[in-house]
Amino acid sequence: MQTSVLQNYPAGVPHEVHPEQYRSLGQMFDESFKRYAERPFSVCMERWMSYGELDVLSTALGAWLQSRGLEDGARVAIMLPNVPQFPVTMCGVLRAGYTCVNVNPLYTARELEHQLKDSGATAIVILENFAATLEQVIDSTAVKHVVVASMGDLLGGLYGKWITIAVRHLAKMVPAYKLPLDNGRTVTPFSQVIEEGRGRKLGADPSTLDSIAFLQYTGGTTGLSKGAVLTHRNIVAATLQAEAWFTPALARAGDLSKVNSIAALPLYHIFALTLCLLAIRQGSHLTLIPNPRDFDKFIAVLKKRPFHMLPAVNTLFNALLVHPEFKTVDFSTLFVSQAGGMAASEGTARKWFEVTGCPMIEGWGMSETCAIGTNNPVSNTAFTGTIGLPLPGIELAIKDDEGRSLPDGEAGELCIKGPNVMTGYYNQPAETAAAFTPDGFMRTGDIAVMQEDGYSKIVDRKKDMILVSGFNVFPNELENVISLCPGVIECAAVGVPDEKQGEAIKVFVVRKDASLTEDTVMRYCHDQLTGYKRPKHIEFRDALPKTNVGKILRRQLRVGAQA
């Protein structure tokens, strides 16, 4: 790691991490569960779960899975939202020596079928709300054991039963389904799995640091998703890296057990998953938000008790800011507002600081790097517009298409090396080979510039670059500038075919002020951007298409604009 990076590290942050202190994630879990048994681990719908309860429940689930005769390293799909069943299942699968395959609960049948077949999953834990999707594809997969959870399973007694009834019959959120039992397939309710597992002993975990812990599928917005192979070493390293970077800020709470992190981003996504693992490592607790799109309820939860860490993507920060009740929340204990998953805009960052008094701290990571890569120091008091410094044990390089390292200040592909970087893509040797340079760096597909002080700035994704009359235009720059235009909530820039320029720039704008006109935006761009960077087309939208994590789908906008 270059000297300028280490010189700019905050006080107390180590330069390296040591994942080899554990033999597996299971050992890390065992240590935390015993040490923090009496501490709260999570709260969901005002029902609490302690570390001791997480220990007992995940042991039962793991023992039950072992009783099914699954082979070591078997892939177990997890198709759950942010409810207590998720961490119980994740910990149970890993402690039993199996591999977690996180699945987006809102997947279509086509997407689910691809992921189950590609991963070779032989078991799945799924919320009943999504079982009808599984029914459509299960016969074409290797899945033999289905565990069906209900929303209220771990919410306790009569309250939990009432929640399940309300979801099924009042809200009618559980479509009818029938899962076939032929070919030796089993379908078992989650509550029955826990009860049967309680009477069994969890067998020894055969995992090592080199065993596969997660198959974490990429977003798939440009084609079929690929499974990033994340080992126990990768995940332990990422957890220790996150702990090293964030503890100086979270320690301001005085006692890490009192730290309350908001889990609004879906736990199946690598960003939130790393937050969950960090909480387990340090003995803090999570507030689970099953449906962050219900902003009335989300903000009501934020008002219930002090919270200290709020990770979000730029679009979620934006959505909170425009809600009329958000300003009434008490932000006095908010120590970390962590932005990631997509580029953070200066306009949103400014408004966030005005309302909360807590600066947005931007970082960068990928599924392939366990969400860990770079981050701005948590001691920052202002938005920098950069992705920060590489975290402990990580080396970055800016390379050209031939794999040559470029000097500071020159734009090229951001490449990364470190203990948190995946070993490759599952069963895709050609994709894996293409992803790494001969000297062992992983190509990220992001275009970046590294400054002399070790801070890096993302210019854009390679594939999103717009070519206007031979000039490279990067949408992130345009979006960052236009987000500062008064009356703009958010925007997205894409390239569209143009006879004269090859491509012209089209910007889709969501406006806060209905009186905002195309001419006003154009004049603002004229004042802020050089000629070839100015949009030729402006289109106002009520909303922009996004992934479930909140990333704006530029590709969908581009295809629609060209149709």
Residue 284 within any structural domain of the chain = yes
Same domain, 197 and 243: no
Distances (CA, A) of 384 to 23, 457, 482, 529: 38, 10, 17, 20
Helix (H) or strand (E) holding 149: strand 145-149
pLDDT, residue 221, reads 40
Same domain, 192 and 264: no
Same domain, 402 and 279: yes
Burial of 533-550, coded b for 16+ CB within 10 Å and e otherwise, reads bbbeebeeeeebebbbbb
Residue 263 within any structural domain of the chain = yes
Would you give per-residue pLDDT tens digits along the chain (563 residues)? 667 788 889 888 999 999 999 999 999 999 999 999 999 999 999 999 999 999 999 999 999 999 999 999 999 999 999 999 999 999 999 999 999 999 989 888 888 999 999 999 999 999 999 999 999 999 999 999 999 999 999 999 899 999 999 999 999 999 999 998 888 899 999 999 999 999 899 999 999 999 999 999 985 444 568 999 999 999 999 999 999 999 989 988 888 989 999 999 999 999 999 999 999 999 999 999 999 989 999 999 999 999 999 999 998 999 999 999 999 999 999 999 999 887 888 899 999 999 999 999 999 999 999 999 999 999 888 889 899 999 999 999 999 988 999 999 999 999 999 999 999 999 999 999 999 999 999 999 999 999 999 999 998 777 788 888 878 788 988 999 999 999 999 999 999 998 888 899 999 999 998 999 999 999 999 998 888 899 999 999 999 999 888 889 998 998 887 75
Distances (CA, A) of 3 to 7, 15, 61, 374, 463: 6, 11, 47, 16, 32
pLDDT, residue 373, reads 97
Same domain, 111 and 138: yes
What is the CATH classification number for the domain harbouring 510? 3.30.300.30
Q: Where are the alpha helices (DSSP H) in 387-498?
A: 429-435, 475-482
pLDDT, residue 220, reads 47
- How many CB atoms within 10 Å of residue 220? 15
Residue 225 within any structural domain of the chain = no
Same domain, 92 and 199: yes
- How many domains in the chain? 3
Tell me the residue type at 559: V
pTM for this one? 0.89
pLDDT, residue 337, reads 96
d(CA 396, CA 398): 7
Residue 224 within any structural domain of the chain = no
Counting DSSP H helices and E strands in the chain, the numbers are 17, 26
Same domain, 412 and 494: no
Same domain, 200 and 246: no
Same domain, 333 and 202: no
Same domain, 344 and 489: no
- DSSP three-state, residue 152: coil
Same domain, 420 and 539: no
Domain extent at residue 549: 465-562
Point out the domain boundary residue: 461, 496, 531.
461
Same domain, 255 and 123: no
